[in-house]
Amino acid sequence: MKRALLILGLVLLSTSPVLVLAQDVRGAGTPVSVEASADSGSVNWKYIAAALAVGLSCIAGGIAVGQIGAAAMGAMSENPELSGKALPYAGLAEGICLWGFLVALLILVLN
């Protein structure tokens, strides 16, 4: 529970400056149309969604690799022949980060 709250707090802290400090590049005297504001809003959300996909998947992958690595080291201390069996599980946990990166690429390219 503490980890989930910590991760949620980090995500909110990392995305709030983006939303607060965003500036309009058109200039102060230029009228804003409805289409232009909707388009710029969707672009901003696209980048935030891609960043969340990569960030959360890498955090989850790091937690998984840490737990799997600790368990694998404990098992290998008792039986050194288990090192070959523990390695694929660490690779599967690292694959979570790659899937998050692929999802972010799809968000950026297809939208």
- SS3 letters for 47-63? HHHHHHHHHHHHHHHHH
Could you list the pLDDT tens digit for every one of the 111 residues in the chain? 878 777 776 666 666 554 544 555 555 555 555 445 555 555 578 999 999 999 999 999 999 999 999 999 899 899 888 878 888 888 898 999 999 999 999 999 997
8-32 burial code (b ≥16 CB/10 A, e <16):
eeeeeeeeeeeeeeeeeeeeeeeee
pLDDT, residue 20, reads 46
Task: Give the Cα separation of 92 and 27 in Å (integer).
Answer: 49
pLDDT, residue 84, reads 84
- What Rg do the C-alpha atoms of the chain give, in angstroms? 21
pLDDT, residue 90, reads 87
Q: Name residue 17's amino acid.
A: P
pLDDT, residue 2, reads 77
Tell me the CATH architecture of domain 46-111.
Answer: Up-down Bundle (1.20)
**Residues in contact with 14: Cβ distance below 8 Å, sequence separation at least 6, in sequence order:** 51, 55
